[in-house]
Structure 1
Amino acid sequence: MPFTITPCPIEGLFEIVPKVFGDHRGYFFESWSERDFAQAGLSMRFVQDNQSKSVRGVLRGLHFQKKYPQGKLVRCIDGEVFDVAVDIRPGSPTFGRWHGVLLTPERQNQFYIPEGFAHGFLVLSETAVFAYKCTEFYHPEDEGGLMWNDPAIGIEWPDLGMPPSLSDKDTKHASIEALRAELGGN
C-alpha cells in the first residue's frame, strides 16, 4: 500500500503518511487514493479542495459547520503547521478532547479529521501553504467555532514567543461548555 495510515488516540482521527519515491530529480507520491483509503476503512467522498497561505503565528480556527459538517484531509505543502482537531460529536466519550499533528512537507504527512470535529492550525514557519479536501461544501451561514484557547479543552499550542494572529471572527468563538449546552448536554 502506498500509505501508512495510523489511528490517532481519538476514534475517527488518522495520520496518513504516503510512500514517497525520490531521487536526484525530485520526488513523486500519491496524496489520495479512493481505493487504498477504502481498503484501510476510510470511505469518504470529497467534494471541494481548499488552499490557504499564511504567515508565522497565524492561528486559523477552531472551525466547524453545524448542519453540514465537513470531514477534512489536511496537509501542509510548504512550511510547517501544528494542526488540531477537537471532538464535538454529541454523546462521544471523547467530547471536548483534542489531538494535534505537526504537518510538514518533509514527511508529506496528512491528517484525516472526520465530520464531528472542530479544526484549526497554527503556522510555525515563516510562511505556510495549507491544503485540504472536504467531504461537504462550505456553507458560510452554517459556521461554528470554538475558542482556540479554551482552558476546558487545554490545547497545548506550540509557544512561538508571540501571541497568535487571529481573524476578527476567530476572537469571538464560544467555549466548549457553551457548545455542550447548545447540543443539549453530553
Structure 2
Amino acid sequence: MRIEPSRLDGVVTFVPQPHPDERGWFTRTFDAEIFDQWRGVAGAAAGFIQDSQSRSARGVLRGMHGRRAPGEAKLVRCARGAVHDVLVDARPESPTFGQHEAFLLDDSTFRHLYVPPGMLHGFQALTDWADVCYRIDRAHDPADDLAVSWQDPTLAIEWPLHPPIVSARDASAGSWAELLTRIR
C-alpha cells in the first residue's frame, strides 16, 4: 500500500495494490499496521469505531459537512463507481486553512482518503451509482454537525456535474463566513 501526501496539511491518500489473476483481483482495503506506522502511534487505527456506507445516483452532491471540535477523522473510499471528493480545511490553526482540494475516488484505483478532524468533506457521484464507505473515529452527534454551502462563492469549489442533486439540508447550508464565526 502506497501513501501519497496531499497539498492540504495532514491529508493523505492510501493506495492499495491489487493482485489480479484470471479470476479477477484481490486487494487489501485497510491495514492497521500501515496506518499506525504512518501516524507514528501504535494502536492509532483502533481509534476508528464505526464504518458507514452511502449510495448515491449520478449527480448527487453530498456536502460540505464537518463536526465541531474536536472534529472527526475518517477514511473515505469509493467501493462502487466514482466520486469527485472535496475537502476544505476548516482548522483555524492549520497552514492550509480555507484551502480546498479535490480527489477522484473510484472502484478501479481503490484510493482511500484520510480526512483529519476539522475538515469539511463533500462529494459528487460521477457514475450511475456510487457507493462511498466511511471509517469514522467518533460516534455521530447531530448537535456537532457543521455545514457550508456546496456553492459558497468564497470557497469557489468547482463541481463537475450541473445541476447537482442536493438534499434540503445541503441546499440550505450556511456560508463559509457564517461558519468562521462559529469555529473561531
Q: TM-score, normalised by structure 2?
A: 0.93
Residues in 1 aligned to 2:125 and 2:100: alpha-carbon distance in whole angstroms: 18
Residues in 2 aligned to 1:27 and 1:81: alpha-carbon distance in whole angstroms: 22
Letter in 1 for 2:112: Q
- Three-state SS of the structure 1 residue aligned to 2:158 is coil
Residues in 1 aligned to 2:182 and 2:37: alpha-carbon distance in whole angstroms: 37
Residues in 1 aligned to 2:153 and 2:139: alpha-carbon distance in whole angstroms: 31
Cross-structure match for 2:27: 29
Higher helix share: 2
Match of 1:140 among 117, 139, 142: 142
> Would the aligned equivalents of 2:69 and 2:118 in 1 still touch at CA under 8 Å?
no
Unmatched segments (≥5 aa) in structure 2? none
Cross-structure match for 2:17: 19
Runs of at least 4 residues off by over 4 Å? none
Cross-structure match for 2:73: 71
Letter in 1 for 2:10: G
Shift of 1:126: 0.8
Residues in 2 aligned to 1:25 and 1:54: alpha-carbon distance in whole angstroms: 28
- Equivalent pairs, count: 180
Q: 1:69-89 CA deviation, whole Å, 9 max, x = no partner?
A: 211101111111001111001
Letter in 1 for 2:52: N
Residues in 1 aligned to 2:76 and 2:96: alpha-carbon distance in whole angstroms: 21
Q: Does 1:149 align with 2:151?
A: yes
Q: 1:95-115 CA deviation, whole Å, 9 max, x = no partner?
A: 111111001111111111110
Cross-structure match for 1:165: 165
1:28-67 alignment, distance < 5 Å: 28-41=26-39, 43-44=44-45, 45-67=47-69
Residues in 2 aligned to 1:50 and 1:59: alpha-carbon distance in whole angstroms: 17
Cross-structure match for 1:181: 181
Shift of 1:31: 1.1
Shift of 1:41: 2.5
> Would the aligned equivalents of 2:65 and 2:146 in 1 still touch at CA under 8 Å?
yes
- Three-state SS of the structure 2 residue aligned to 1:178 is helix
Cross-structure match for 1:96: 98
Q: Does 1:128 align with 2:130?
A: yes
Unmatched segments (≥5 aa) in structure 1? none
Residues in 1 aligned to 2:143 and 2:178: alpha-carbon distance in whole angstroms: 19
